């Protein structure tokens, strides 16, 4: 009896470990995906970023290798000629600027000239004040919204800095807002290091004329930006005299495709997790079947006596099958409980990250383990039904 219990515990551990591996990897995958997606937090998923680069093809008398720049006129052309676009907004940056307030300074600030619509590309998380608006742009006000690191360095005492002035370069700006967004996507500069000022103010102060660094566009609901890429290239190329098929000349970063790639990656990872987990569970279930066969052989006398006193083959079948299902199901329940406990520890170590399995994923895994218990119990049960009282007496 003790030997049978030890064997049952050993084989149950195989199923337990297989289920734990499956569910732990699923929960870990969910948390890892959430951690990766947090890097894109607040960034519009249907955004494309347009950046000018050198041409690689000759076109209408122009040699290849020619440099060119995006211009403010391109913004209106895109709005007018590509109506499927929702937001078309410019951005220009001045790197390694020094932001100063009284005796405090931050040398790694990035002054970014943006339009009011830019908030639909990178959604701000305003700790204090407001974002730049249309009146700031139209009246070319010398106001700014500062990022978290700029705020921490220039206002170490904390509190609301709105209404106070900071100096970026040679110009003083009044702080109207503080953006605490923590996205790791940097569009011409990280938002935490940014001093955001109205786009026309940046153009004039830094003598940019009509030239801009990049254009951010978002599609209207239901519009896939990849379907507009050709049209966008045609509109820009027509004004700047380069071949619309010269893709390196106009570098387009389609974030919609990046998000799609991440989703596809994790779909593949989940499939691999299921394959590995099911393989481990199946190995444990085969172990259950083998041990049950040994157990049936050792219980030949018991089964023979039961047959002699009137037990039907159906009774013997039910007994062996129930033992197999009970063993695998118990191991499955313990595996789920242990997995949930381990994932809870991970969640405490990474606050806000969903390192847990879904309810229906756990139920599906448990049902699967029970079904494997039925399948793996068939061979031992069939052998047990074939035992005759005479054979049992002979073994004795």
In the predicted model, what is the mean pLDDT of residues 295-306? 66
| Residue 84 pLDDT | 93
Q: Are 246 and 55 in contact (CB under 8 A)?
A: yes
274 or 302, which is more confident?
A: 274
Q: How confident is the prediction for the chain on average, in pLDDT?
A: 81
Threshold 0.75, pTM exceeds: no
Tokens 């969640």: give the residue.
347
| Residue 226 pLDDT | 84
pLDDT over 50 at 2, yes or no:
no
Q: Please state, in angstroms and as integers, the Cα–Cα distance from residue 239 to each residue in 57, 74, 89, 171, 359, following that order.
A: 16, 8, 18, 34, 56
| Residue 390 pLDDT | 55
Q: Are 115 and 137 in contact (CB under 8 A)?
A: yes
Over residues 11-47, the pLDDT tens digits come to 566 677 777 777 887 777 777 777 776 666 666 678 8
Please name the residue ranges forming H helices in the chain. 2-38, 72-81, 134-138, 148-154, 199-205, 229-240, 255-298, 300-308, 313-349, 359-385, 389-395
Over residues 335-391, the pLDDT tens digits come to 888 888 888 888 887 776 777 777 777 788 778 777 777 776 666 666 666 666 555
Over residues 57-83, the pLDDT tens digits come to 998 888 889 999 999 999 999 999 999
Over residues 104-135, the pLDDT tens digits come to 999 889 999 999 999 888 888 899 999 999 99
| Residue 209 pLDDT | 87
Distance of CA 216 to the CA centre of its chain: 22
pLDDT over 50 at 86, yes or no:
yes
Q: Torsion angle, CA of 319/321/324/329, rounded to 10 degrees?
A: -110
Measure the CA angle with vertex 386, ends 382 and 388; round to 5°: 150
CA–CA dist 145, 96 (Å, integer): 17
| Residue 195 pLDDT | 94
Tokens of 135: 């009146």
**DSSP-derived secondary structure letter, 217:** E
CA–CA dist 291, 324 (Å, integer): 10
- What backbone torsions phi and psi does residue 292 show, to the nearest 5 degrees? -65, -35
| Residue 256 pLDDT | 75
Q: Are 369 and 328 in contact (CB under 8 A)?
A: yes
Nearest alpha-carbon partner for 199 in 72, 70, 108: 72
pLDDT band at 5 (very low <50, low <70, confident <90, very high): very low
| Residue 39 pLDDT | 65
| Residue 37 pLDDT | 66
């Amino acid at each position: 009896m003790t030997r049978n219990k030890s064997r049952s515990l050993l084989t149950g551990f195989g199923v337990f470990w297989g289920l734990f591996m499956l569910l732990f990897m699923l929960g870990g995958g969910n948390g890892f995906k959430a951690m990766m997606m947090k890097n894109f937090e607040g960034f519009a998923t249907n955004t494309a970023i347009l950046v000018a680069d050198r041409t690689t093809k000759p076109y209408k008398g122009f040699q290849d290798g020619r440099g060119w720049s995006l211009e403010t006129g391109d913004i209106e052309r895109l709005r007018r000629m590509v109506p499927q676009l929702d937001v078309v907004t410019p951005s220009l940056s001045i790197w390694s600027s020094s932001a100063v307030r009284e005796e405090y300074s931050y040398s790694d600030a990035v002054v970014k000239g943006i339009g009011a619509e830019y908030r639909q590309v990178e959604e701000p998380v305003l700790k204090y004040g407001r974002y730049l608006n249309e009146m700031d742009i139209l009246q070319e006000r010398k106001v700014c919204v500062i990022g978290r690191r700029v705020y921490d360095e220039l206002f170490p005492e904390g509190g609301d800095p709105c209404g106070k002035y900071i100096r970026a370069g040679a110009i003083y700006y009044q702080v109207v807002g503080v953006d605490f967004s923590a996205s790791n996507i940097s569009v011409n500069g990280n938002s935490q290091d940014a001093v955001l000022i109205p786009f026309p103010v940046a153009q004039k102060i830094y003598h940019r004329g009509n030239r801009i660094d990049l254009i951010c566009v978002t599609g209207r609901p239901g519009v896939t930006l990849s379907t507009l890429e050709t049209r966008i290239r045609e509109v820009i190329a027509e004004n700047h005299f380069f071949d619309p098929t010269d893709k390196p000349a106009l570098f387009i970063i389609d974030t919609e495709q990046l998000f799609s790639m991440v989703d596809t990656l994790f779909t593949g990872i989940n499939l691999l997790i299921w394959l590995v987990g099911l393989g481990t569970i199946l190995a444990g279930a085969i172990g259950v079947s083998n041990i049950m066969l040994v157990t049936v052989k050792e219980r030949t006398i018991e089964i023979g006596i039961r047959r002699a006193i009137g037990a039907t083959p159906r009774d013997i079948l039910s007994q062996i099958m129930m033992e197999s299902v009970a063993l695998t199901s118990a191991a499955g329940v313990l595996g789920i409980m242990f997995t949930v406990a381990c994932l809870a520890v991970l969640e405490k170590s990474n606050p806000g990250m969903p390192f847990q399995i879904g309810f229906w994923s756990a139920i599906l895994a448990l049902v699967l383990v029970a079904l494997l218990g039925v399948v793996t119990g068939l061979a031992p049960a069939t052998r047990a039904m074939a035992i005759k009282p005479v054979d049992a007496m002979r073994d004795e």
